[in-house]
Amino acid sequence: MKRLALSTAATCLLLPVLILAAVTGGIGLAQPAPAALADIPPDYLLLYERAGLAYDLPWELLAGIGKVECDHGRAPSPACLQEGVENAAGAGGPMQFLAATWARYGRDGDGDGRADRWDAADAIFAAANYLRASGAPDDIPAALYAYNHSQAYGELVLHWASVYTAEFGLAAAGPAGAPGPAAAAAVRYALAQLGTPYLWGGESPGGFDCSGLVQAAYQAAGIALPRTAQAQWDASPRLARGTALRPGDLVFFGSDPAHVSHVGIAVAPGEMVDAPHTGALVRRESYNWPDYLGATRPASAP
């Protein structure tokens, strides 16, 4: 049964793994995207990079785990940083190791002569060691499943890894070409909101509805857009049918042009970031919906 579950998780995680490999240019040290520089404390970023090089892993993968587990050492849980404190499951430290797992994979990442799972350097190097021993980089889904037996966990880690490599994804977005600076800034903002709860009328990082996310993303890029999806559709130049979309283009849905009901931000060929509906989170998904109306380009390419 365990082998079957792992096989299913590997299949579902294959696409984001390929995206991660593509945008990092394979294994090695890629320059952090602006989203990574904005969200990851410099000392943690350096540790992720060093551990990635030491174990021949994408540093973004380690950063994704660090974000999900303890928000790069900023989570309020005492189990993340307070020496000796474990959570209810028995995990402790910024990469949330169990004592038994630490005994096998723990590492002295800072060279002080001891391996301490509450020390950031030790924990990050140990996480790299554990992932490598579990099949990464050849089988990242299996390695993430070994780290935490949850497909949803692996998907969330890879979402954050893609956020931290978003700049490279934009530069290689496809035949449509790279977006202009404002569109790129809007996409970076939108990707950084992945996992934020949907909130009707929401227009801040505490919660977004579809048009609130679009408005906030372009506001961060210095471009003012109307508040509702209908008004956004009416306000921006529409692209002719068949035009290859660029990251940052807005994609709209509804029964007809006078009844627009949803909007998202294109981030890659066939994909958008959107705040879909009540009970959902801001996510990355296909925009090939039956009620797709068309697209606009609020920001001009260079």
Run means of pLDDT, 10 residues per run, the chain, 302 residues? 32 46 44 73 90 90 95 94 96 98 96 96 98 93 94 88 62 47 86 90 93 96 96 93 88 96 89 92 89 90 40
Helices and strands in the chain: count of H runs, count of E runs: 13, 9
| Alpha-carbon distances, residue 49 vs 45, 54, 56, 135 (angstroms) | 6, 9, 10, 19
The predicted pLDDT at position 34 comes to 67
What are the residues whose beta carbons fall under 8 Å from the beta carbon of 19, sequence distance 6 or more?
Answer: 162, 169, 268
CB 29 within 8 A of CB 54: no
The predicted pLDDT at position 111 comes to 92
What are the residues whose beta carbons fall under 8 Å from the beta carbon of 214, sequence distance 6 or more?
Answer: 190, 225, 229, 232, 250, 263, 264, 265
The predicted pLDDT at position 11 comes to 37
Residues 204 and 213: their CA atoms lie apart, in Å, by 8
Q: Helix 181-192 to helix 210-220 angle, to the nearest 10 degrees?
A: 130
- Tell me the two tokens of residue 295: 């697209």
Residues 117 and 134: their CA atoms lie apart, in Å, by 19
Residues 14 and 127: their CA atoms lie apart, in Å, by 21
Residues 175 and 245: their CA atoms lie apart, in Å, by 9
Region class of 61: left (phi > 0), else alpha (psi between -120 and 50), else beta: alpha
Q: What share of the chain is helix, strand, coil (3-state, %, to 5)?
A: 45, 15, 40
The predicted pLDDT at position 13 comes to 46
Length of the chain: 302
The predicted pLDDT at position 32 comes to 64
Strands, E assignment, the chain = 91-92, 97-98, 203-204, 207-208, 250-256, 259-268, 271-274, 283-286, 292-296
203-204/97-98 β-pairing: unpaired
pTM of the complete model: 0.54
Question: Which domains are present in the chain?
Answer: 2-167 (1.10.530), 179-296 (3.90.1720.10)
